Amino acid sequence: MSLVRYQNFIHGTYLANTTNEVFDVRNPATDEVIYQVEVADERIQQAAIESAKKGVAQWSAMTGVERSRVLLKAVALLRERNDELARIEVLDTGKPWQEASVVDVVTGADSIEFFAGLAATIEGNQQDLGGDFYYTRREPLGICAGIGAWNYPLQIACWKSAPALACGNVMIFKPSEETPLGALKLAEIFIEAGVPAGVFNVVQGAAEVGQWLTQHPDIEKVSFTGEVGTGKKVMAAAAASNLKDVTMELGGKSPLIIFDDSDVEEAVSGAMLANFYTQGEVCTNGTRVFVQRGIYASFMDQLKARTEANIVLGDPMDPETNMGALISKKHQELVLGYIQSGKQQGATLVTGGDAVSPTSAPNGYFVAPTIFTDCNDEMTIVKEEIFGPVMSVLVFDDEEEVIRRANDTHLGLAAGVFTQDIRRAHRVIHQINAGICWINAYGASPAEMPVGGYKQSGIGRENGIETLKHYTQIKAVYVGMNKLESPF
Ligand code: NDP
């Protein structure tokens, strides 16, 4: 049986490439190739730019209310097709249906709804200067590129396109080649909703296609989600080409701090969410779990018991499954390599530690939820982002110590604190160098709340009103009302 073959989505329709080059996409839970996708060759790349130029001329001339109206239709279509889209995300990523059906499409649609609501509020200001005055216009940047990671493919495409489009820009989006289908479905939905052709094009391929986007002189901005190392390359190319603006959503190694006075059950829930949700493939994961000595024993007892009893690995489409397969065989091996290094460097394995072959999905790339204790700050598993279900537990004694240790990293994406002491909660969070923080919670990321990292975890923000600034530029206009005086 021949495989379904998807093309690039350019100017409102699917467009064939000329080189005939394709790549395979595998279902991580079965190891089977499920479809193929055409690579964006030169023909596609040129067509994407020509289309985006036409798109931006039309879209940026529309009013905020007009843009909002069509974006809201796209939101309605996303919600209507929630299950169909969630299924695509499960097959592409290996994450459980339990999550994808209530989070991935919903949070993507929420972001578009949020920015559609803001589209008509984008405004400049005016100030009197004693007769003369100046005013500002908040203008779109033009053609933006979006480059996505594979863990939340549709959500990332929505989070990037929502503010870009609301502000009157257009976007050429490249999803990860591991998970290319969600963005194509979003492109179809935008067209169906009435977004003009050329406003959201999707180009497919690996790093070369991403590089082409970051180097293109007609692209004014690149919004990137991925690893720190790739982010640095993207920024260098963006600067070298035409000094593009950048938004960088990069990796993390976030601290989760649990004080003695925490509700143990809640703290364990927080730690499990912060490590095992989406099988650990979440950028904001709180993988360095700092536990205060007094609560350590009861915390570990509950953590081990609940991890062993309540986590169900298996066919991700089974509604009972709450932890899925990792994205690829290669990534599974990488995660197992980190687990090996944890053992070698003297951490104690509390549970997990191996690849798993569940009966309902024996060929999938599963790794058991893994907990290490007796960790120290120098171990590789404590220093590096693993992007898998591997938790490192570290013990601490006092507040000053844990703040210092939590901040001892070049990353600064997220952080969490569990405590019943309201003053301590805020005092500690205010001293942590991280962009996304939770108190007595972990992982929630509503469209209203800005997300983005400190230090090498990123530049700029997604979601939240704040993000409008990253997709517009200010034009200041001075108006002379008095006779112009000149020394010449
Ligand atoms: P990568 O950095 O490997 O890839 C990200 C994207 O960049 C992919 O589409 C990739 O293409 C593309 N790419 C690769 N090389 C280049 C290049 N030189 N120029 C332009 N584009 C390029 O990240 P992963 O996909 O492995 O995603 C995991 C990472 O993403 C983790 O570090 C995670 O923390 C981070 N992340 C951050 C988030 C945040 O909001 N802060 C959210 C989600 C993930 P292809 O893969 O097709 O080769």
**Atom number of ligand 1 nearest to Cα 228:** 32
Q: Is 50 a catalytic residue?
A: no
* Contact yes or no for 38/14 (Cβ under 8 A): no
Q: Residues of the chain with pLDDT > 90: what percent?
A: 100
**For residue 1, pLDDT beyond 70:** no
Q: Which residue has the tokens 């990796």?
A: 251
If residue 454 lies in a helix (H) or strand (E), which one and from where to where? Answer: strand 454-455
Cα within 13 Å of Cα(350), Cβ side: 23
Domain 255-439 sits in CATH at 3.40.309.10
The residue whose C-alpha atom lies closest to atom 16 belonging to ligand 1 is 207
pLDDT at 2: 85
| Structure confidence by residue, pLDDT tens digits, 12-51 | 999 999 999 999 999 999 999 999 999 999 999 999 999 9
Can you list the positions of beta strands (E) in 355-434? 355-356, 366-367, 370-373, 390-396, 411-412, 414-418
Which pTM was predicted? 0.98
Catalytic residue among 249, 375, 385, 437: 249
Residues whose CB falls within 8 Å of the CB of residue 421, separated by 6 or more in sequence, listed in order: 259, 261
> What is the arithmetic mean of pLDDT over 301-309?
98
- What does the alpha-carbon distance between residue 331 and residue 365 come to, in Å, rounded to a whole number? 8
- At the topology level of CATH, where does 5-250 sit? Aldehyde Dehydrogenase; Chain A, domain 1 (3.40.605)
Q: Which amino acid is at 172?
A: I
Which atom of ligand 1 lies closest to the CA of 237?
A: 19
The full set of domain ranges for the chain reads 5-250, 255-439
CA distance 398 to 331: 36
| Inter-residue contact 154 to 108 (CB < 8 Å) | yes
Catalytic hit among 283, 375, 385, 437: 283
Q: What is the DSSP letter of 359?
A: T
Is residue 99 annotated as part of the catalytic site, yes or no? no
Question: In DSSP terms, which residues pair with 171 in a beta bridge?
Answer: 144, 200
Q: How far is the CA of 129 from the centre of ligand 1 (A)?
A: 48
Interatomic CA distance for residues 454 and 442, integer angstroms:
18
Please write the tens of the pLDDT for every residue from 123-165.
999 999 999 999 999 999 999 999 999 999 999 999 999 999 9
Instruction: List the one residue out of 323, 235, 319, 246 whose CA is nearest residue 282.
Output: 323
Q: Give the binding-site residues of ligand 1, using a 6 Å CB cut-off.
A: 147-151, 174, 176-177, 206-207, 210-211, 214, 225-227, 230, 233-234, 249-252, 283, 385, 387, 413, 453, 458
Q: Tell me what the mean pLDDT of segment 467-481 comes to.
A: 98
Tell me the mean pLDDT in the region 305-314.
Answer: 98
Per-residue pLDDT of 396-452, as tens digits, reads 999 999 999 999 999 999 999 999 999 999 999 999 999 999 999 999 999 999 999
Which structure tokens are listed for 152?
Answer: 């939340």
